[in-house]
Amino acid sequence: MTHSLTLTVNGEEKTVALDDPRVTLLDLLRERLGLTGAKKGCDRGQCGACTVLVDGRRVNACLTLALTVDGSDVLTIEGVARNGSLHPVQAAFIAHDGFQCGFCTPGQIMSAIGLMAEAGPLDDPERIREGLSGNLCRCGAYAGITEAVRDASKILSGKGGAA
């Protein structure tokens, strides 16, 4: 049986015919919609590399069956820049060396954007580390990531910041 699936992805409505219900949201984005920003690290919910926002909430796209989010609004790393300029969290990751190889970075940034929406401005590094513990970085760029999120949080809450 073929299922029809309609999603808003990064502001654009997409209708996809799915011949196989096993397709995860991650595979849909990467293999069928050509959006390879979200990464497949573990495919088991254990690393956070696949993090995207569904209706504004961060989720692991690898543990989400695509059909279950029919009708939802999906935001991926490809959709966060506005009018050609980087999202403040993206800019802060560059300013603070929040990555090395970059594999975990799309997931880190989407998770940080989701975290700020949940928790509001974040200044306490402990809170940031705990809030982002669902995103592993095999390069160990955690110090830069924490600083980047702190700084972006200041900018987004209108309290200045360096990035």
Partner 1 sequence: MKRFAYVRPSTLDEALAAGARPGAAYLAGGTNLLDLMKTGARRPDVVVDITRLPDLSAVTVLEDGDVRVGALVRNATLAADPAFARAYPAIAEALLSGASGQLRNMATLGGNLLQETRCAYFADPASACNRRRPGTGCDARGGENRLHAVLGWSEACIATHPSDLCVPLAAHDAVVEIVGPAGAREVPFGEFHRLPGDEPQVTTALEPGEIVAAVRLPGHGKAFAPHARYLKVRERTSYAFAVVSAAAMLRLDRGRIAEARIALGGVAARPWRAAAAEAALVGEVADDAAFHRAGELALAEARPSGENAFKIELGRRAVARVLRLAAAGTPDFAPALPASPFASTTGVALHG
Ligand X SMILES: Cc1cc2nc3c(=O)[nH]c(=O)nc-3n(C[C@H](O)[C@H](O)[C@H](O)COP(=O)(O)OP(=O)(O)OC[C@H]3O[C@@H](n4cnc5c(N)ncnc54)[C@H](O)[C@@H]3O)c2cc1C
Q: Which residues are near ligand FES by CB under 6 A? A: 40-43, 45-50, 60, 62, 99-105, 137-139, 141
Asked whether position 108 contacts partner 1 by CB under 8 A, the answer is no
Q: Which does 25 bind (CB under 5 to 8 A by kind): ligand FES, ligand X, partner 1, none?
A: none
Rank residues 79 and 106 by Cβ distance to ligand FES and give the closer one: 106
Which of 4, 31, 45, 143 is in the footprint of ligand X by CB under 6 A? 45
Asked whether position 138 contacts partner 1 by CB under 8 A, the answer is no
The answer to whether 144 and 115 have CB atoms below 8 angstroms apart is: no
Which of 45, 101, 102, 143 is in the footprint of partner 1 by CB under 8 A? 45
Rank residues 121 and 125 by Cβ distance to ligand FES and give the closer one: 125
Work out the number of other CB atoms within 10 angstroms of the CB of residue 49: 27
Q: What is the DSSP string of the chain?
A: --EEEEEEETTEEEEEEES-TT-BHHHIIIIIS----S--SSSSSSS-TTEEEETTEEEEGGGSBGGGGTT-EEE-GGG--BTTB--HHHHHHHHTT--SS-SSHHHHHHHHHHHHHHH-S---HHHHHHHTTT---TT--HHHHHHHHHHHHHHHTTS----
Q: Which does 57 bind (CB under 5 to 8 A by kind): partner 1, ligand FES, ligand X, none?
A: partner 1
Asked whether position 97 contacts partner 1 by CB under 8 A, the answer is no
Query: Taking CB positions, which residue lies at the least distance from ligand X?
Result: 45
- In the block, tokens 């209706």 appear at 55
- In the block, tokens 């504004």 appear at 56
Residues that bind partner 1 (CB under 8 A): 1, 3, 20-22, 24, 43-45, 48, 51, 57-60, 63-65, 67-68, 70, 111, 114-115, 118-119, 124, 126-127, 129-135
